[in-house]
Amino acid sequence: MPFLFYLFIFFFGLCIGSFLNVVIFRLETGEGIIKSRSHCPKCGQTLRWYDLIPLASFFILRGRCRYCAKSISWQYPLVEITTGSMFLLVFWNLEFGHWDFIGNWKLEIGNLFTACYMLYVICSLIVIFVYDLRHYIIPDKIIYPAIGTALLFNFYRVLNFGNWDLFGIWNLGFGIWRPFFYPLLSAFAAATFFLALVLITRGRGMGLGDVKLAFLMGLVLGWPSILLALLLAFASGALVGLTLIFFKKKTLKSQIPFGPFLVAATVFTLFLGDKIINWYSQLLL
């Protein structure tokens, strides 16, 4: 894949990351996402186009507002860089093109629908990660559309895997429905497990937002990848929690949002889960 194409994808991801920052900020304030113009959250000054260049404006302005000179959160460039990097990983893993026999690059669009789905899921997860980290809440306005999109995508996979029989009838046998039922069962299993934790701890250890996020994880990852993601989330959450307690940043009674660990584990498993599971399976055999 040519360098310019990669560069375009990364810059496009930076622009989407800039938009995600707007979504994260306005989910809290309740402002309209589309109609309202971007403005400084400190002084309210409407920002010009040259104040909104993804990544570049932050460093040109040295992390301060041009108009009130107050500091700009590092969340903005970090979200932009993360989104751009995730966009690159999606296109890298899906292998959207190839070189033909005369040395020309041929872009394949067969995986375009899958790419759009993955990009949307990743954008949703980034918003959930940051918002839960800042406010200890997983926003319904993000999680519900993501769940609906994942359900539709899994149903699309069923239709895509069907075939015409000898009588000209589209065949959707039980085996064809596996791409839909397996993720759905994984989603219900993960959500049920987290709901049990919520009931056992009476909401002190987990929240209903984590239940919804677990359901999304099951739809996106399926079986057995969901199991790997949950193990990674609990392991990383325990490690970070113990580290914060050791350095006296938190106590045993302190709240630590679990959503970011679930999101990070989901993204990691999405890209590397199959390789890890295959390696572990070969090790057992």
Residues with Cβ within 8 Å of residue 97, at least 6 apart in sequence = 1, 5, 105, 106, 107, 108
Tens of each residue's pLDDT in the chain, 285 residues: 577 878 899 999 999 999 999 999 888 877 777 767 787 777 877 788 777 888 888 898 888 888 888 888 899 999 999 999 999 988 887 765 555 555 555 555 556 778 889 999 999 999 999 999 999 999 999 999 999 999 998 887 776 655 544 444 545 554 556 667 788 999 999 999 999 998 888 877 788 999 999 999 999 998 889 999 999 999 999 999 889 888 878 776 778 899 999 999 999 999 998 888 888 778 776
227 in Cβ contact with 189 (< 8 Å): no
Residue 37 pLDDT: 78
Residue of 114, 146, 182, 164 whose CA lies nearest to 259: 146
DSSP 198-249: HHHHTTSS--HHHHHHHHHHHHHH-TTHHHHHHHHHHHHHHHHHHHHHHTTS
Res 95: pLDDT: 61
SS (H, E, C) 114-179: HHHHHHHHHHHHHHHHHHHHHHCCCCHHHHHHHHHHHHHHHHHHHHHCCEECCCCCEECCHHHHHH
pLDDT of residue 178: 64
Q: Kindly list the domain boundaries of the chain, sorted by start residue.
A: 1-108, 138-285
Residue 91, token pair as written in the block: 């296109």
Angle, CA of 24, 26 and 31, to the nearest 5°: 165
pLDDT at 173: 52
ω into 224 cis (within 30 of 0): yes
Q: From the CA atom positions of the chain, what is the Rg in Å?
A: 21
In this structure, the strands spanning 163-164 and 105-107 are unpaired
User: CA-to-CA distance for 67 and 40, rounded, in angstroms?
Assistant: 9
Q: What is the pTM of this model?
A: 0.87
pLDDT score at 274 = 84
Which residue type does 121 have?
V
Find all residues with CB under 8 Å of 60, minimum gap 6, and list them: 53
3-state secondary structure of 99: strand
